[in-house]
Amino acid sequence: MKILRVDIANGRITFENLREEWKPIGGSALIAKIMNKEVHPGADPLGPENLFIIAVGPLAGTGAPQLGRISVGAKSPLTLGIKEANSGGPAGQILDRLGIRAVIVQGSPRNHRLYCLHISKDKAVLIPADQYRGMKNYELADRLRKQYGEKISVICTGIAGERQYKGASVSFTDIFGDPSRNAARG
């Protein structure tokens, strides 16, 4: 299993082996371990020293009922503590089948640019996405499906995340391709 680390400030993407002691955990527990290890308690929740983490459980890709959930975590701009929220949808199963237990996004993009992280079986790449600025989640998911195919899963924050609203949520597409599954509250 791997951790996909995205340094969005420098456009660098690396894969790391999942630490041996973290192999039996996932989701909120893995997010807490990473946050406690890598984020200073005084970090600005909306600043470049915070991390944005997406994590799945060790059995997410098995198809077993209720185990394909996906967690999102960071230092919360609302509570200033570590916060995790989770959701359903196929994204967790897809990440696990790609051998990815967590995606860690660090840093801030230069000049407030927007990026799309495209993850496939063979690679992960950051693609400039300023053309999607101001787009609502349903329109964005439709556009991305037209560009990359119907069998993709989209994880997005929409306009609220783009504008760094403290109450923004993370949306995940469902089995029909609609971004109707949300990780929020925190």
Chunk the chain into consecutive blocks of 10 residues (it has 186) and report each block's average pLDDT, rounded to whole numbers: 96 95 93 96 94 93 82 92 91 94 94 93 93 95 94 93 90 95 84
16 φ, ψ (degrees, to nearest 5): -125, 145
The pLDDT of residue 66 = 77
The pLDDT of residue 186 = 65
Residue 74, both tokens: 């960071």
Q: Torsion over CA of 153, 69, 58 and 121, rounded to 10 degrees? A: 0
The pLDDT of residue 173 = 96
The pLDDT of residue 1 = 93
Class of domain 2-183: alpha beta
The pLDDT of residue 176 = 95
Pairing of strands 124-128, 82-87: unpaired
Q: Provide the whole-model pTM.
A: 0.94
